[in-house]
């Protein structure tokens, strides 16, 4: 009788509602821990899909956090770059006047376009950087090492800016126009959609995409510097024999912040031209070169470095947004990922971090 009761209890336990879920999780873990050589084609495809979804979600959360943190710095930078001579004495004066006119809320003018664009930009940047590395490998079939040199990483980084510009250029155009409002002049746009509608009515897609060449001129060299410095600092901070994917969050922030400083050191001059070109009335400039020429002729070469201070000040605080991504995803990783039947791998975070850092630099 005792044996019979034990058998009944055991059978009943096997049929408990949660057992199937537990078995599924165990099977996922077993599949995940298999050596690559033992994995089926379907398992490898599922693993790649898992990584892509996790990267997309993580990058979206991190990118949004970076926009929220970086927006006040970005607005200060753009207003310095586009203001008439004498309107502001410096970055602190922009902050003072913005607070006086609009309060803290004023620093978040123009935040809508970056928030809407950050996730697709993350996806395109991630794809572009990966594609850039594939092109490097394709161009060097006789290479003896799979490790890319810093020059090759720079080439891949530059390439990533080209497809990303398709999303970044219109986002930047609308953002700049909205950020320039609220400085005492007439308010032309009630919001992002109104700005897009009026730009399209004014000159079609060409008007919406004004500043595309300037965006590539900024983000191409900037992205090259960004990815190279990120890898250099990451390598320097990784102890001998340790997996780079297990770097501490503080180390990732130092690498990302250093990369941001390197990026903006190169990007500020074309960024000034881009902001002026995208924010000017129709017909003011013939294009990127004409805008650069007029800027130097009217305000001197030093005008090409306006906004450098806010850009530098923003580099490290924006990377603190990685805390938001980590802390947001940590408690809900099982909820978010397991409901998608996706295993969560802390070791896969390095690619996510790198791509998320790429998103930080755009805003």
Residues 263-292 pLDDT 10s: 999 999 999 999 999 999 999 999 999 999
| Of the candidate ranges 132-146, 188-202, 252-266, 321-335, the one whose mean pLDDT is the lowest | 321-335
Would you say residue 41 lies in a domain?
Answer: no
Residue 74 lies in a domain: yes
Give the domain extent around 59. Answer: 49-360
Taking a C-beta distance cutoff of 8 angstroms, is the pair 319, 256 a contact?
yes
In a domain, 32, yes or no: no
CB contact at 8 A, 76 and 310:
yes
pLDDT the model gives residue 253: 77
Reported as a single tens digit per residue, the pLDDT across 46-68 is: 655 555 566 566 666 767 777 88
CATH of the domain at 104: 1.50.40.10
Lowest mean pLDDT among 9-23, 79-93, 151-165: 9-23
Give me 93's structure tokens: 């004066």
The predicted structure's pLDDT at residue 49? 58
Question: Does 336 have pLDDT greater than 50?
Answer: no
> What's the domain count of the chain?
1
How does the average pLDDT of the chain come out, rounded?
Answer: 79
16 domain-assigned: no
Judge whether 271 lies within some domain: yes
3-state helix, strand and coil shares in percent for the chain, rounded to the nearest 5: 80, 0, 20
Q: Which of 13-17, 76-80, 147-151, 236-240 has the lowest mean pLDDT?
A: 13-17
Q: What are phi and psi of 151, to 5 degrees?
A: -65, -40
Please, which residues have CB within 8 angstroms of residue 39's CB and are 6 or more apart in sequence? 31, 47
Residue 90 has pLDDT above 80, yes or no: yes
- pLDDT at position 10 over 50: no
pLDDT score for 352: 45
Residue 338 has pLDDT above 80, yes or no: no
17 lies in a domain? no
Helix 212-237, helix 288-299: angle, nearest 10: 80
| pLDDT classification of 333: cutoffs 50, 70, 90 | very low
The verdict on residue 1 lying in a domain is: no
The pLDDT-based confidence of 199 (bands split at 50, 70, 90) is: very high
Residue 36 lies in a domain: no
Residue 11: the pLDDT is 46
């Amino acid at each position: 009788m005792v044996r019979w009761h034990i058998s009944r209890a055991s059978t009943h336990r096997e049929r408990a509602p949660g057992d199937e879920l537990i078995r599924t999780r165990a099977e996922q873990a077993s599949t995940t821990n298999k050596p690559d050589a033992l994995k089926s084609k379907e398992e490898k495809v599922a693993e790649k899909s898992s990584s892509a979804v996790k990267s997309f979600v993580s990058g979206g959360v991190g990118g949004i956090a970076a926009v929220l943190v970086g927006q006040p710095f970005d607005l200060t930078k753009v207003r310095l770059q586009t203001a008439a001579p004498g309107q502001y004495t410096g970055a602190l004066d922009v902050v003072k006047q913005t607070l006086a006119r609009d309060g803290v809320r004023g620093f978040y003018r123009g935040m809508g376009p970056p928030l809407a664009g950050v996730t697709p930009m993350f996806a395109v940047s991630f794809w572009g950087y990966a594609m850039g590395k594939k092109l490097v490998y394709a161009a060097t079939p006789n290479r003896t090492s799979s490790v890319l040199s810093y020059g090759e990483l720079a080439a891949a980084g530059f390439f990533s800016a080209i497809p990303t510009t398709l999303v970044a250029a219109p986002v930047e155009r609308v953002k700049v126009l909205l950020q320039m409002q609220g400085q005492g002049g007439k308010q032309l746009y009630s919001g992002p959609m109104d700005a897009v509608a009026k730009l399209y009515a004014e000159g079609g897609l060409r008007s919406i995409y004004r500043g595309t060449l300037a965006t590539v001129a900024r983000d191409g060299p900037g992205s090259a510097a960004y990815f190279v410095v990120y890898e250099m600092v990451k390598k320097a901070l990784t102890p001998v024999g340790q997996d780079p994917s297990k770097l501490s969050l503080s180390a990732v922030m130092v690498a990302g912040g250093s990369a941001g400083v390197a990026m903006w050191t190169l990007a500020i001059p074309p960024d000034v031209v881009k902001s002026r070109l995208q924010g000017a009335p129709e017909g003011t400039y013939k294009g990127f070169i004409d805008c650069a020429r007029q800027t130097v002729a009217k305000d001197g070469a030093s005008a090409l470095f306006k906004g450098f201070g806010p850009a530098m000040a923003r580099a490290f605080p924006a990377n603190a947004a990685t805390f938001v991504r980590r802390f947001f995803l940590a408690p809900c990783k099982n909820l978010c990922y397991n409901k998608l039947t996706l295993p969560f791998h802390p070791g896969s975070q390095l690619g996510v971090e790198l791509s998320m850092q790429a998103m930080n630099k755009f805003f």
